C-alpha cells in the first residue's frame, strides 16, 4: 500500500482500458488510418501491448485507441524470393516454428522463436512485435541482427528500408517516426557456405527472460574453409543489442578451431558492458557470455547448423477469420461461438477475452496472473490454445472459443479430464482448467506425446501446488484421437 493517505499503490491503480478499435481492411487503409489517428496504438498479437496498458494509469480516462492489424491477410504472410525471405508484421513465432524448409537462414530465427514465452504466447506474439517493443531482452532481435535483416517501414509519406542494426536507438526506443508502421522484416537468404546458431541463457527452461542471448552467423570460403564474414549479436547484457565488431574483425581470415573459438570468446567478454539487474550480475553475464560464445563457435566449427527441435504448437493455424465488423467501441456487441453455443454481448469494460468470457459465458476459465505467465486462462481460439488474458475481446469477434466446459461431450469426460482424475493430477484446482485445455490441444496435435513433449506443450501452465509429476502421468498413453477443437 502507498505510504501517502488516500493514494493507491501502483499495483492497486487501474490501467488504461480500450476505448476504440480501428480495424482497417487493407494495409493501405491501415497506413491512412494511422496518419489520421497518430495517437492510436498499432496492435497485432497484443501480448506486449495489453500488458503495457494494464500497467499504465489512464490519466485522461478516455481509454486507448487501437489500430488492429491482426486480421490483415497480407500481414500474416511469409514471402520467399531468390534473394530474401520477407516476414509480415502479423507473422507469429509459432508460424515461423511451424513453417519448415523456408530457408536455412530462418533456422537461426526459429531457434530464437522457440524460446519466446510459451506455446500459447507463441500462437499470438509476432516477430515484428518483438522488435518494435525494442527490449534488449527480446530473443528474436539478436537472431535478426546476426542475420543482417532489414526493417520495411511505411507511412503516407512513403516507404523506407532500414538495417535492423540502426532500428534501435536506446532501451525500448526505435527510429520510428509518428504515423510510421513496420510492414515487414526482410532477411537475406544464405549461400551454401553459411552457417549460424543462436543460444539463450536463462534462469529456467521456459517462460524465462534472457540473462544473455546471442545470434552468430559465419560465412566460409569454399576452397580454403577460412572465415570470410562473421556477424555476432548479443542481447540482454546492455540497453540495446550489441554487435561485436572486434570479434568480426578477428574471425575473418581464420580457420575456426578450438583455439580461435576461445580467443574470440575472450574478445566478446572484454568488449561488452553488461548490466546488473534482478536476473543476473554484470560479472555473471561476462563469464557466461564468454563460455557460451566459445561453445557455440566450437559447435559451428563442424560447419553445420544446429537442428531446431520440434515442439508442440498447440493448434497453431495459418488462416485467420475475416473480422465481421470494422470499428468497435465498448458499446459494440461482439458474438462468439463458445463451446458450440452462440454468445453475444457488449465489450463494455471487458477489454480482454478472459474478462468477457467470465462475464458472459464461462466461469471455469480462471484468471491467475493476468500477464500470460501462468496459463490458468488458456482457451482454444479458432482451434489454437491462447492465454485469453492477453487477447483483446474485439479480436475474438466472430470466432470459435472452447473453454474447459466445452471439452467433454455429453456425459462423457474428455480423455485428458479422465486422465487427470485417474492419476490424481488435481490439487487446489485453480490451474486445472488451463492445464486441461492446453493438454487437449496438445493431444489433438499429437495422440501419443512423450514425457518431454508433454513438458514442452504444457510449459506455459504453472501449478502452484507443484503437481507436475501427476500431470505428466495423466497424459502418458491416453487414447486421445478424437477432435477436441
CATH number, residue 349: 3.10.20.30
CA–CA distance, 367 with 358 (Å, rounded to integer)? 9
Instruction: Evaluate whether residue 12 is within a structural domain.
Output: no
Claim to verify: residue 77 and residue 50 sit in the same structural domain: no
CATH number of the domain that residue 289 is part of = 3.30.465.10
Claim to verify: residue 206 and residue 77 sit in the same structural domain: yes
Q: Which of 448, 376, 460 is nearest to 415 (CA)?
A: 448
| Cα separations in angstroms, 481 against 11, 310, 410, 440 | 44, 20, 17, 10
Note the pLDDT of residue 389. Answer: 97
Note the pLDDT of residue 11. Answer: 57
Claim to verify: residue 187 and residue 296 sit in the same structural domain: yes
Claim to verify: residue 186 and residue 89 sit in the same structural domain: yes
Higher pLDDT, 447 or 132: 132
Claim to verify: residue 377 and residue 293 sit in the same structural domain: no
Note the pLDDT of residue 113. Answer: 95
Residues 238-254: b if buried by 16+ CB within 10 A, e if exposed: bbbbbbbeebbebbeee
Claim to verify: residue 26 and residue 45 sit in the same structural domain: yes
Environment class of 483 (CB within 10 Å of its CB; exposed 0-12, middle 13-18, buried 19+): exposed
Q: What is the pLDDT of residues 203-251, one digit of tens each?
A: 887 888 999 999 999 999 999 999 999 999 999 999 889 888 899 999 9
Question: 459 near 372, Cβ under 8 Å?
Answer: no
Instruction: Evaluate whether residue 316 is within a structural domain.
Output: no
Claim to verify: residue 62 and residue 87 sit in the same structural domain: no
Least confident of 60-69, 129-138, 352-361: 60-69
Range of the domain at 148: 73-300
Q: What is the pLDDT of residues 422-439, one digit of tens each?
A: 999 998 999 999 999 999
Cell of 247: 570479434
- By percentage, how much of the chain surpasses pLDDT 70? 94
Environment class of 451 (CB within 10 Å of its CB; exposed 0-12, middle 13-18, buried 19+): exposed
Q: What is the pLDDT of residues 150-165, one digit of tens each?
A: 999 999 999 999 999 9
pLDDT band at 3 (very low <50, low <70, confident <90, very high): low
Note the pLDDT of residue 19. Answer: 92
- pLDDT surpassing 80 at residue 100: no
- Residues 299, 300, 305, CA angle at the centre, nearest 5°? 100
Partners of residue 306 on adjacent β-strands: none
- Alpha helices per DSSP H over 214-370: 245-251, 258-271, 282-300, 353-360
Note the pLDDT of residue 308. Answer: 56
Claim to verify: residue 189 and residue 288 sit in the same structural domain: yes
Residue finishing a domain among 282, 300, 318: 300
Environment class of 273 (CB within 10 Å of its CB; exposed 0-12, middle 13-18, buried 19+): exposed
Q: What is the pLDDT of residues 328-380, one digit of tens each?
A: 999 999 999 999 999 999 999 999 999 999 999 988 999 999 999 999 999 99
Mean pLDDT of the chain: 91
Q: What is the mean pLDDT of residues 75-101?
A: 93
Question: 458 near 432, Cβ under 8 Å?
Answer: no
Amino acid at each position: 500500500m502507498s505510504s501517502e493517505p488516500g493514494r493507491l499503490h501502483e499495483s492497486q491503480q487501474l490501467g488504461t482500458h480500450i476505448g476504440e478499435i480501428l480495424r482497417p481492411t487493407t494495409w493501405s487503409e491501415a497506413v491512412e488510418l494511422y496518419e489520421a489517428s497518430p495517437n492510436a496504438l498499432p496492435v497485432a498479437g497484443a501480448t506486449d501491448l495489453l500488458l503495457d496498458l494494464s500497467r499504465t494509469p489512464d490519466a485522461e480516462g478516455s481509454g486507448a485507441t487501437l489500430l488492429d492489424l491482426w486480421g490483415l491477410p497480407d500481414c500474416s504472410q511469409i514471402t520467399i524470393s531468390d534473394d530474401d525471405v520477407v516476414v509480415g508484421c502479423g507473422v507469429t513465432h509459432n508460424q515461423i516454428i511451424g513453417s519448415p524448409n523456408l530457408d536455412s537462414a530462418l533456422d537461426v530465427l526459429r531457434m530464437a522463436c522457440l524460446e519466446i514465452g510459451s506455446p500459447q504466447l507463441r500462437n499470438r506474439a509476432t516477430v515484428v512485435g518483438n522488435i518494435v517493443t525494442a527490449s534488449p531482452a527480446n530473443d528474436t532481435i539478436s537472431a535478426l541482427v546476426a542475420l543482417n535483416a532489414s526493417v520495411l517501414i511505411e507511412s503516407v509519406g512513403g516507404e523506407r528500408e532500414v538495417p535492423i542494426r540502426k532500428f534501435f536507438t536506446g532501451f525500448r526506443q526505435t527510429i520510428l517516426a509518428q504515423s510510421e508502421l513496420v510492414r515487414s522484416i526482410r532477411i537475406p537468404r544464405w549461400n551454401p557456405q553459411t552457417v549460424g546458431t543462436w543460444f539463450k541463457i536463462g534462469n529456467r527452461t521456459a517462460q524465462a527472460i534472457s540473462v544473455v542471448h546471442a545470434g552468430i552467423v559465419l560465412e566460409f570460403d569454399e576452397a580454403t574453409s577460412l572465415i570470410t564474414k562473421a556477424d555476432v549479436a548479443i542481447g540482454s547484457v546492455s540497453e540495446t543489442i550489441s554487435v561485436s565488431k572486434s570479434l568480426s574483425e578477428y574471425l575473418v581470415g581464420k580457420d575456426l578451431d578450438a583455439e580461435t573459438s576461445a580467443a574470440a570468446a575472450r574478445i566478446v567478454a572484454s568488449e561488452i558492458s553488461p548490466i546488473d539487474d534482478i536476473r543476473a550480475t554484470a560479472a555473471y553475464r561476462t563469464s557466461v557470455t564468454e563460455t557460451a560464445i566459445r561453445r557455440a563457435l566450437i559447435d559451428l566449427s563442424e560447419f553445420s547448423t544446429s537442428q531446431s527441435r520440434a515442439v508442440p504448437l498447440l493448434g497453431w493455424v495459418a488462416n485467420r477469420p475475416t473480422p465481421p465488423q470494422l470499428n468497435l467501441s465498448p458499446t459494440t456487441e461482439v458474438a462468439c461461438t463458445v463451446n458450440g453455443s452462440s454468445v453475444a454481448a457488449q465489450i463494455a469494460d471487458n477489454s480482454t477475452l478472459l474478462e468477457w468470457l467470465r462475464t458472459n459465458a464461462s466461469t471455469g476459465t480462471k484468471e491467475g496472473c493476468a500477464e500470460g505467465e501462468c496459463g490458468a486462462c488458456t482457451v482454444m481460439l479458432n482451434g489454437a490454445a491462447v492465454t485469453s488474458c492477453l487477447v483483446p475481446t474485439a479480436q475474438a469477434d466472430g470466432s470459435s472459443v472452447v473453454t474447459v466446459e466445452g471439452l467433454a461431450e455429453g456425459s462423457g469426460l474428455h480423455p485428458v479430464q479422465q486422465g487427470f482424475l485417474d492419476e490424481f493430477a488435481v490439487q487446489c484446482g485453480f490451474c486445472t482448467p488451463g492445464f486441461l485445455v492446453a493438454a487437449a490441444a496438445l493431444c489433438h496435435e499429437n495422440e501419443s506425446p512423450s514425457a518431454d513433449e508433454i513438458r514442452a506443450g504444457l510449459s506455459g501452465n504453472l501449478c502452484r501446488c507443484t503437481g507436475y509429476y501427476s500431470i505428466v502421468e495423466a497424459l502418458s498413453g491416453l487414447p486421445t484421437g478424437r477432435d477436441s477443437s
